[in-house]
């Protein structure tokens, strides 16, 4: 048995590592020939359909970095295993930085020559209902104490401004916050905290 397929855990670790090499031939030994992949782009059955889907994503997401977090094994048996996880990616699209996240489920089966992925289902996180939130304002700081700085920019009509933007339909505030930050400043990262909400607009507000 190949060391890379000695257990479901090693297969998933190797799989996540190889995805960032953007070379599907490295993934082939980890995927069953009849595997089924359910992505936002559609259903892809079989190794060649999976290859086409992966390579199309790599062409669209230049320099993509992909990683998994909070991986949890919900079932591990002698011949089958399944895990769930949060997925994250960071890339360049049409020359602009972009990032995203979602959730996934992977099912592996044990063959005579080792464990292989039989099914993968990736989807966005379900939207969080925030009916009153229409706009977001990411606040970026660096340093501490008297040396602390906050990210602002000078708008030609409105003067000094924080990064702000309008949520897209069905978008939760944290996702919209990070999207606006990337679009307007080129910065990417993770939200450290939700500072709060306001239903008031004050004249002269920064």
Q: Per mean pLDDT, which of 28-37, 87-96, 144-153 is the most reliable? A: 28-37
For residues 15 and 117, membership in a common domain is answered with yes
For residues 75 and 164, membership in a common domain is answered with no
For residues 41 and 118, membership in a common domain is answered with yes
- The answer on pLDDT for 15 being more than 90 is yes
Q: Residue 200: pLDDT band by 50, 70, 90 thresholds?
A: low
Q: What residue numbers bound the domain in which 141 lies?
A: 127-206
pLDDT at 144: 76
For residues 132 and 85, membership in a common domain is answered with no
Q: What is the pLDDT of residues 63-116, one digit of tens each?
A: 899 999 999 999 999 999 999 999 998 888 888 788 888 999 999 999 888 999
- Cα dihedral value 107, 110, 113, 114, nearest 10: 60
Which whole-number Å values give the CA distances from 58 to 93, 118, 135, in the listed order?
11, 21, 31
Q: Which of 101, 100, 68, 66 is nearest to 83 (CA)?
A: 68
pLDDT, average across residues 135-151: 83
Count of domains forming the chain: 2
């Amino acid at each position: 048995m190949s060391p890379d397929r000695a257990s479901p855990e090693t297969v998933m670790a190797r799989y996540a590592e190889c995805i960032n090499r953007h070379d599907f031939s490295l993934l082939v030994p980890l995927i069953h020939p009849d595997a089924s992949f359910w992505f936002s782009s559609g259903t892809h059955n079989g190794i060649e359909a999976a290859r086409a889907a992966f390579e199309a994503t790599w062409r669209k997401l230049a320099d993509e970095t992909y990683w998994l977090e909070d991986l949890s094994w919900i079932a591990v048996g002698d011949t089958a295993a399944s895990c769930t996880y949060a997925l994250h990616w960071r890339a360049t699209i049409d020359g602009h930085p972009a990032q995203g996240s979602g959730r996934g489920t992977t099912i592996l089966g044990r063959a005579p020559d080792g464990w292989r992925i039989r099914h993968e289902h990736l989807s966005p996180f379900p939207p969080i209902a925030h009916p009153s939130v229409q706009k977001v304002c990411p606040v970026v700081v660096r340093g501490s104490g008297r040396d602390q700085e906050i990210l602002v920019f000078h708008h030609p009509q409105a003067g000094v401004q924080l990064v702000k933007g309008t949520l897209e339909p069905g978008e939760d505030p944290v996702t919209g916050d990070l999207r606006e930050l990337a679009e307007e400043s080129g910065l990417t990262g993770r939200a450290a905290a939700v500072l709060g909400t306001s239903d008031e607009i004050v004249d002269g507000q920064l």
